[in-house]
């Protein structure tokens, strides 16, 4: 029963990441909207530019900006958003599974 639950959970997570991610909004979320209050977004040849006075003007790109999976895409191609979501789910499961395995192993060795 437990194994079926985990398999079903994994399949559901992969389907959601692979399919539903294509329907995600490209508009700013609540935090982005809040930090942009007082500014206007202007499209330029190099991307977006902010005019006015707001918190977002002092923001910088994060350290993962140039990586292959940045901005929920693969290599900047928006058509691969679902694949990037699936890779993210697999990486999260691998990290969580490894952490749980280490915790269980350390508890088992202390019990002996």
**Looking at residue 69, what is its pLDDT?**
77
Max distance between CA atoms of the chain, in angstroms, equals 65
**Looking at residue 28, what is its pLDDT?**
67
* Alpha-carbon Rg for the chain in angstroms: 20
Summarised one tens digit per residue, pLDDT across range 40-89 is 988 888 878 888 999 988 888 888 888 887 777 888 788 888 998 899 99
Model confidence, pTM: 0.65
E-state strands within 25-76: 39-44, 47-52
């Amino acid at each position: 029963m437990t194994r079926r639950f985990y398999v079903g959970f994994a399949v559901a997570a992969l389907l959601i990441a692979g399919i539903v991610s294509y329907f995600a909004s490209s508009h700013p979320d609540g935090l982005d909207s809040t930090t942009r209050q007082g500014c206007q977004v202007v499209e330029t040849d190099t991307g977006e530019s902010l005019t006015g006075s707001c918190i977002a003007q002092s923001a910088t790109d994060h350290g993962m900006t140039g990586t292959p999976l940045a901005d929920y895409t693969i290599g900047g191609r928006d058509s691969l958003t679902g694949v990037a979501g699936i890779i993210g789910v697999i990486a999260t499961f691998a990290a969580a599974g490894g952490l749980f395995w280490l915790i269980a192993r350390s508890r088992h060795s202390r019990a002996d």
